[in-house]
Amino acid sequence: MFVADLINEFLESLEVENGRSRFTSRNYELYLSRLIEFSEEISPEADLKPEDITPEWLRKYRLWLNRYEVVNSHGKTLSVTTQAYHLIALRGFLKYLAKRNIKSLDPVLVELPRTHRPQVTFLHIDEIERIFAEIPSDTETGLRDRAIMELLFSSGLRVSELIGLNRDHVNLERKEFMVRGKGQKDRPVFISDSAADAVADYLAERHDSLPALFLNNSRNTPLQGTSGNYRRLTPRSIQRIIEKYVRAAGITKHVTPHTFRHSFATDLLTNGADLRSVQSLLGHSNISTTQIYTHVTDPQLREIHKKFHSDV
């Protein structure tokens, strides 16, 4: 069999056997399509076979990825992190081949490049308050936008988790609910009194029976389908909503839905929460992912140094 055919089977197995989301499958499809693109460039007359993937092939592929220019980007190349995602997809594909006893490169030979720890941008409480102050409270749209941002900051939800919420998912009385995050893993989510009140105020203004917790109020939204999901907000919609109020508040930071998740984690650690608890609340499978937030301990290190280290 050819690699192109096996990739299609691998992508299907991600959803059916491994329980990965369609979003993950689409990402893997993009990364592995570049593998085929590379193969067609170096051997235009031959279809890539599993046994063609050798250490030398891998070396050339990594060099190609490093020099790859993104289409319509004026010479922009792939970041080291994005290159790593391509190699993660390749490694997953090779593991799939090994599981099926199809001879190819050993997955352990696919080493990932070293990546720099991402810089975490977060909002201070006064900045959160400035943003909230710009949201009108006398319109359904304003009440929706306030509920969205209160929920993001209160819970640390990913934007994909937020837009997937239905009304019956959120228990406003108990102020807690379960959410299914990355890797189809469930975790408990807790929300503040103000977040619960903001969601309740928004729902009180709704006069529909659609299941989605947050709806697109645009009149340009096409009326189609029967599930109501055509009215569900998208990640890009949430981004535009946030950008609108951030600009109005005069905040110059680049703020995204994920910035609220960073702010949630930073606020917990600043107020004394331990890293393991924050890991659970964020739904991180690995503690090393949560450790990007240890920047908040830096001011405390200065105080510890002053208190316990003696002058000569």
Q: Residue 114 pLDDT > 90, yes or no?
A: no
Q: State the first-to-last Cα distance of the chain, in angstroms, to the nearest integer.
A: 73
The DSSP element (H or E) to which 186 belongs, if any, is strand 186-190
What gap in Å lies between CA 155 and CA 176, rounded to an integer? Answer: 9
Under the banding of pLDDT at 50, 70 and 90, the label for residue 225 is very low
What's the mean per-residue pLDDT of the chain? 87
Average pLDDT over residues 292-312: 63
Quick one: average pLDDT of 267-281? 87
> Can you tell me whether residue 28 is helix, strand or coil?
helix
Q: Which of 50-59, 123-132, 143-152, 286-295 has the lowest mean pLDDT?
A: 286-295
CATH number of 125-301: 1.10.443.10
pLDDT digits (tens, 9 = 90+) for 141-184: 999 999 999 999 999 999 999 999 999 999 999 999 999 877 77
Q: What is the mean pLDDT of residues 129-143?
A: 95
> Which fold, 3-109?
DNA polymerase; domain 1 (1.10.150)
pLDDT over 80 at 311, yes or no: no
Residue 226 has a pLDDT of 46
Q: How is the chain split into domains, by residue range?
A: 3-109, 125-301
Catalytic residue numbers? 158, 182, 258, 261, 284, 293
| pLDDT tier, 295 (very low <50, low <70, confident <90, very high otherwise) | low
Contact, 32 vs 90, CB < 8 A? Answer: yes
**In angstroms, rounded to a whole number, what is the distance separating the alpha carbons of residues 64 and 86?**
12
The sign of the CA dihedral 252, 257, 262, 267 is positive
Q: Which of 158, 211, 199 is nearest to 175 (CA)?
A: 199
Q: What stretches of the chain show up as alpha helix (H) in DSSP?
A: 3-16, 22-42, 55-67, 80-99, 125-133, 140-155, 159-163, 193-205, 235-248, 257-270, 275-282, 287-290, 298-308
